[in-house]
Amino acid sequence: MSNKINKKVLLTVLILGCFLSTLNQTLLNVAFSKLMVVFSISASTVQWLATGFMLVNGVLVPITAYLMKRFSTRQLFLSSMGFLLFGSIICAVAINFPLLLIGRMIQAIGAGIIMPLLMSVVMFIFPPEKRGSMMGFIGLAIIFAPAIAPTLAGFIIEYYSWRWLFIGIIPFTIIIIVLAMKYLMNVSETEKVKLDIVSVILSTIGFGFILYGFSSAGSRGWEDMVVLCTIILGIVAILTFCLKQSKSTEPLLDLSVFKNKLFTLTSIINIIVTMMMYADMVLLPIYLQNGRGFSAFEAGLLLLPGAIVNALMSPVTGKLYDRFGAKPLFIIGLIFIIPSMWVVTDLTETTPFVFLMIRTIFLRVGLSFITMPLNTASLNSLPRALVTHGTAVNNTLRQIAGAIGTAVVITIFTAQTTSHAETLLKETPNTPVKVIKTLASVLGSSDSYYFMTILAIIALVLTLFVPSKSKN
């Protein structure tokens, strides 16, 4: 089958679509402060543009294993780009926050399909010894999108309107749809499989409620009944979903992948690393803009060098993975990540811009040793028949971890900022409220990074249990 496929053309079209989809996902992070002013909303409300996006992704990805069996590569890719186009149009003309959020959710449907599709295609058309290099090449495209997104978004917000963040995506999406209609071919055969509606409902309720609970905790507080009830109901629904999958002959998500110890271990590390990565991408721009008064463009510029280094390192770490396996790469990565989190636990209102930029480069070097090798190691450990389910599980965990990581960090940030503001008001009652708010925001950011440092140390301990050379 793989001989008949023009791998270069197929991958180029898929990677272009994935690049655009990933660019769109991270484009709004530096726009949060601006959108809070435009729509008169709080930090815990605006973060729904990120959490809601990941929520739809997380709910949709369990279904992708079914979708990849039921529909062709071509059908899924064109649908994905269609949703991205339609969602971008709605966002571009949004007159209020709910409409912007709806457009964002529609965009997320497209993003939810494309990443698992790309990963599975690589697993199908390349032998195990070449997958690390190919995943690294894909990583270059996928990581380069978030690399340029903050600076691009910052520039657009600074000099144009936030609406151009969406208007700009529309023509590129149309070009990719035209290219796909001409050049994209199918990789695997389709099957007539039944969709387990009950499992879809259970996974949607489960993931939806858990994410809603975590996200609402920022504004409502952890002792709030709505927060506690939604998290508990979500966990019950997920447990019921897992029980149903384990007993089903044709599960929506084949959880037998977790019988593989290496897959399970890499999945846990994946959750922790993703929580840190997404939380940092949201927290740092908030600190720079709210705590330091930097513009969105300046915040984007600070993140740019690190993200470019990350993108350029991706093909290198892919080749290193093929040669040395996952364990040494993970350890090197975390040796970079842990100090990068620790040095920002004492942020002040005068922390140098260049210091933060160098710190972010170090963090991104660390992440480049982990992200793509982690995916390759976990999927390589599975038999071919379970690859689509492994991909779906991986992506589900990553979306949920990203959303929970963002929600928890915003919760810690909001709670600590409020607490510091109250303390400062008592200690220095004559200080202007604006100064107190700024200082409290800086101290809240520092406290949040303590949590992320602990996560990085836990990831390092788990890495020691990974086998030395991945078994292909």
Give kind and range of the element (H or E) at residue 253: none
Looking at 27-127, list the stretches that DSSP marks H as alpha helix, in order from N- to C-terminal side. 32-38, 43-46, 48-70, 73-92, 97-125
Distance CA 313, CA 321 (A): 12
pLDDT band of 27, cuts 50, 70, 90: confident
Question: In the block, which residue shows the tokens 């690859």?
Answer: 387
User: By percentage, how much of the chain surpasses pLDDT 70?
Assistant: 93
With a cut of 50, say whether residue 304 has pLDDT above it. Answer: yes
pLDDT band of 85, cuts 50, 70, 90: very high
Mean pLDDT of 83-88: 92
**Backbone dihedral angles phi then psi of residue 5, each to the nearest 5 degrees:** -95, 130
pLDDT band of 86, cuts 50, 70, 90: very high
User: By percentage, how much of the chain surpasses pLDDT 90?
Assistant: 7
**Candidate from 167-171, 178-182, 200-204, 466-470 with smallest mean pLDDT:** 466-470
Check residue 319 and give its pLDDT. Answer: 81
Mean pLDDT of 51-80: 79
pLDDT band of 83, cuts 50, 70, 90: very high
**Side-chain half-sphere exposure of 70, counting CA atoms within 13 A:** 12
With a cut of 60, say whether residue 160 has pLDDT above it. Answer: yes
**What Rg, from alpha-carbon coordinates, does the chain have?**
22
How many of the other CB atoms lie within 10 Å of CB of 220? 16
Q: What is the chain's mean pLDDT, rounded? A: 81
Distance CA 285, CA 154 (A): 10
Distance CA 82, CA 71 (A): 15
What residues contact residue 423 under an 8 Å CB cut-off, 6+ apart? none
Instruction: Look up residue 183 and give its amino acid.
Output: Y
Check residue 444 and give its pLDDT. Answer: 83
pLDDT band of 22, cuts 50, 70, 90: confident
**Candidate from 117-121, 202-206, 225-229 with smallest mean pLDDT:** 117-121
Mean pLDDT of 56-84: 81
List b or e across 360-382, with b for residues whose CB sees 16 or more CB atoms inside 10 angstroms. bbbbbbbbbbbbbbbbbbbbbbb
Check residue 266 and give its pLDDT. Answer: 87
Check residue 189 and give its pLDDT. Answer: 67
With a cut of 90, say whether residue 305 has pLDDT above it. Answer: no
Q: In terms of pLDDT, which residue wins out, 231 or 115?
A: 231
With a cut of 70, say whether residue 472 has pLDDT above it. Answer: no
Mean pLDDT of 458-464: 88
Note every long-range contact of 8-14, with CB atoms under 8 Å and residues 24 or more positions apart, other chains counting: 9/183, 10/121, 10/125, 10/183, 10/184, 10/185, 10/187, 11/121, 11/122, 11/134, 11/137, 11/138, 13/77, 13/176, 13/179, 13/180, 13/183, 13/184, 14/77, 14/114, 14/117, 14/118, 14/121, 14/184
Distance CA 123, CA 130 (A): 10
Q: In terms of pLDDT, which residue wins out, 8 or 419?
A: 419
Mean pLDDT of 21-49: 78
With a cut of 90, say whether residue 200 has pLDDT above it. Answer: no
Closest by CA to 303, choosing from 170, 166, 73, 147, is 147
Question: In the block, which residue shows the tokens 């940030």?
Answer: 413
Dump the DSSP string for 233-249: HHHHHHHHHHHHHHH-S
What residues contact residue 111 under an 8 Å CB cut-off, 6+ apart? 21, 22, 24, 25, 53, 57, 80, 84
Structure tokens that stand for 201 in this block = 């409902």
Check residue 1 and give its pLDDT. Answer: 41
What does the pLDDT look like over 392-436, one tens digit per residue? Answer: 788 778 777 877 787 788 878 887 888 888 888 787 777 777 788
With a cut of 90, say whether residue 55 has pLDDT above it. Answer: no
Distance CA 402, CA 215 (A): 12
With a cut of 90, say whether residue 250 has pLDDT above it. Answer: no
Question: In the block, which residue shows the tokens 């993140």?
Answer: 303
Mean pLDDT of 188-198: 74
Structure tokens that stand for 123 in this block = 């697993």
**Candidate from 99-103, 181-185, 260-264, 331-335 with smallest mean pLDDT:** 181-185
Query: Could you give the angle at the alpha carbon of 55 between the alpha carbons of 49 and 61, nearest 5°?
Result: 135
pLDDT band of 218, cuts 50, 70, 90: low
Check residue 325 and give its pLDDT. Answer: 77
Dump the DSSP string for 423-465: HHHHH-TTS-HHHHHHHHHHHHHHHHHHHHHHHHHHHHHHHTT
With a cut of 50, say whether residue 76 has pLDDT above it. Answer: yes
